[in-house]
Amino acid sequence: MTPQLPTTARVPRSGLGAEYLDVLKRRGAEPGELIEHVVADDLVTVAYQGRFLAAPVFLSAHERALVAADLHQVHRLLTELPERLFGGDVAAMARAVGMTDTQTDIVRRATTADAPLVPLARSDLYRGADGFKLLELNITSALGGFENAGINRAMLAHPALSDFVAERKLAYADTFAGITRTLRAECARHMEPQGRRPVVALVDWPESFKSYEPRLKVMAALFDREGIDAVPCHVGQISENGDRLEVAGRAVDVLYRFFLVEEIATPADAAFVEPLLRAFEEGRVGMFSRLDAELYGNKGALAMLSDDRNRHAFTAEERACVDRFLPWTRHVRATATDAGGRELDLLPYAEAHREDLILKPTLLHGGSGIVPGWTVGSEEWRARLAEALDGPYVLQERIKPVPEVFPADDGSGTQELFLNWGVFLTDPRVTGGDGYNGCLVRGSTDPEVGVVSMNGGARVACSFYETDLTDEAGSTGSNAADPA
């Protein structure tokens, strides 16, 4: 069912992980030693409650470069789908991916504002037998994992890792620094050059704010170190005062949006957020990121890229990227095409291939509503498919992540883990380099796991990458990120 991948996708996996395990063994380092400094970091522990893996992961220079290039290509294609497939009609695309009339109107209005879509995203990648596969691309400012460089810094306090990183000339990208540079660019659009600190409202939805407020306080503390005044709040705590929006009595330059379009489901919800959207439309405040961002990061948008019936809209190079990087993904309709372009009756096909498919709602996040076919019986699978037919759902090919070897928790040897690689992406014109902006990895010991997520019991790790890129012809270059 997987399309034939071009040979350029078969970049050899980095052997750095195995080398690092050998270093730990020779030095007699215990797993607990490797994370003790991480656990002691209060800002990091708030997010992950001490659930850390005892080693980082490593990317070769080739792996990192290919992933960054493919992610940028897919990001660009997703944001161009309204023009390529819908004649520029954003509302038509919103309806096609399952947004309500209320949500459709909001994303349409967001695109009419005189403000660019801030390029910020985080992928969910599995490394399969043929390289990395993109399960989802979360195009939004509401991204968890922004604290991940704190894990890098804390783990580097252990000499086994710090020596290995220095000897192998490894680096890490500071995700939060990239976010800060991107945010500053947005602040500059809405501030006179007065030499003052920007005021940013970290705005969540009232219900999710109850549980997410501690994370927003961590972000505010990190922004304070960078010279930005950030105020955690929810939509209901933003007020209008003349032509300005205010939070806690302070005029706001930029709304850093943590609430999602999926939370604005009814006309009453839309009325609740109307003052913010109107101020953004009129250029009185910045919004990081625009409310149409989730349209392009929608799972239904990935299905549009994957569907071979849309291949006419893409160049040969773009199709090659889609073929090697995206798993087969289709909207749940009566008919679809297989990976070879053959028309098929989708529901009987999905029933016959239950063990190889996963059912996903297009709008929900965090693993909500996902049904891995291999975790349910045939009767339940058939019922879920019937419920999803013609609704806001997609079917996606199952990608089996290859196991990665980590130190065993009890220090007795090694264990195999299955990873979700959360690679962050920013605009290289703002952050420099190729836009690779770090990676937060989540790992599970369950080989049959449907979704590797924190809600599913996963633990997290940071990542390092090689800075010297050497191709087969022997040319060299540098993609080093500033680890400061």
Could you read off the pLDDT of 281-315 as tens digits, one per residue? Answer: 999 999 999 999 999 999 999 999 999 999 999 99
**Boundaries of domain holding 369:** 328-397
**Hey, which residues does 204 pair with through a beta bridge?**
234
Same domain, 78 and 207: yes
Residue 194 lies in a domain: yes
Same domain, 89 and 187: yes
CA 16 to CA 250: how far, in whole Å? 49
Residue 255 lies in a domain: yes
Q: Could you give the count of Cα atoms lying within 13 Å of 270 in the half-sphere of its Cβ?
A: 13
Could you read off the pLDDT of 56-114 as tens digits, one per residue? Answer: 999 999 999 999 999 999 999 999 999 999 999 999 999 999 999 999 999 999 998 88
Same domain, 65 and 97: yes
Residue 321 lies in a domain: no
Residue 146 lies in a domain: yes
* Residue 6, pLDDT above cutoff 60: no
Q: What percentage of the chain carries pLDDT values higher than 90?
A: 72
pLDDT of residue 299: 94
CA 135 to CA 73: how far, in whole Å? 15
Q: Collapse the DSSP code of 446 into the 3-class scheme (helix H, G, I; strand E, B; otherwise coil) and give the result.
A: coil
pLDDT of residue 368: 65
Q: Collapse the DSSP code of 272 into the 3-class scheme (helix H, G, I; strand E, B; otherwise coil) and give the result.
A: helix
Residue 83 lies in a domain: yes
* Residue 259, pLDDT above cutoff 70: yes
Averaged pLDDT of the chain: 89
**Residue 166 CB: number of other CB atoms within 10 A?**
10
Average pLDDT over residues 408-417: 82
Angle between helix axes 148-155 and 175-188 (nearest 10 degrees) is: 140
Same domain, 209 and 266: yes
Give 80-124 as a DSSP string. Answer: THHHHHHTT-HHHHHHHTT--HHHHHHHHHHHHSSSPPP-EEEEE
Same domain, 294 and 385: no
pLDDT of residue 203: 98
Residue 25 lies in a domain: yes
CA 154 to CA 52: how far, in whole Å? 12
Q: Answer whether 175's CB lies under 8 Å from 438's CB.
A: yes
Same domain, 428 and 345: no
| Number of domains, the chain | 2
Same domain, 375 and 426: no
Give 13-69 as a DSSP string. Answer: PPSHHHHHHHHHHHHT--HHHHHHHHHT-HHHHHHHTT-B-SS-EEE-HHHHHHHHH
pLDDT of residue 469: 60
Residue 342 lies in a domain: yes
Same domain, 409 and 384: no
Element at 202 (helix H, strand E): strand 199-204
Which of these, 423, 452, 461, 453, lies nearest to 439 by C-alpha position?
423
Residue 317 lies in a domain: no
CA 51 to CA 379: how far, in whole Å? 36
Average pLDDT over residues 189-209: 88
Q: What percentage of the chain carries pLDDT values higher than 70?
A: 92
Least confident of 34-38, 89-93, 410-414: 410-414
Q: Answer whether 184's CB lies under 8 Å from 198's CB.
A: yes
Map tokens 């497939």 to a residue: 85
* Residue 275, pLDDT above cutoff 50: yes
Same domain, 266 and 167: yes
**Where a domain ends, among 397, 424, 446?**
397
Query: Over 132-162, what HEC string results?
Result: EEEEEEEECCCCCCCCHHHHHHHHCCCHHHH
Same domain, 125 and 209: yes
**Where a domain ends, among 368, 397, 426?**
397
Could you read off the pLDDT of 333-372 as tens digits, one per residue? Answer: 999 998 888 999 999 999 999 999 999 999 866 556 899 9
Q: Answer whether 463's CB lies under 8 Å from 439's CB.
A: yes
**Cβ neighbours for 223, distance < 8 A, ≥ 6 positions apart:** 180, 200, 229, 230
CA 332 to CA 303: how far, in whole Å? 10
User: pLDDT: is 300 or 39 the higher one?
Assistant: 300
Q: Answer whether 46's CB lies under 8 Å from 159's CB.
A: no
**Where a domain ends, among 366, 397, 428?**
397
pLDDT of residue 337: 92
Could you read off the pLDDT of 363-406 as tens digits, one per residue? Answer: 866 556 899 999 999 999 999 999 999 999 999 999 999 999 99
pLDDT of residue 187: 87
Q: Collapse the DSSP code of 295 into the 3-class scheme (helix H, G, I; strand E, B; otherwise coil) and give the result.
A: helix
pLDDT of residue 365: 61
Amino acid, single-letter form, for residue 403: P
pLDDT of residue 475: 28
pLDDT band at 51 (very low <50, low <70, confident <90, very high): confident
Same domain, 192 and 333: no
Could you read off the pLDDT of 122-181 as tens digits, one per residue? Answer: 999 999 888 999 999 999 999 989 989 999 999 999 999 999 999 999 999 999 999 999
Same domain, 245 and 129: yes
**Cβ neighbours for 7, distance < 8 A, ≥ 6 positions apart:** none
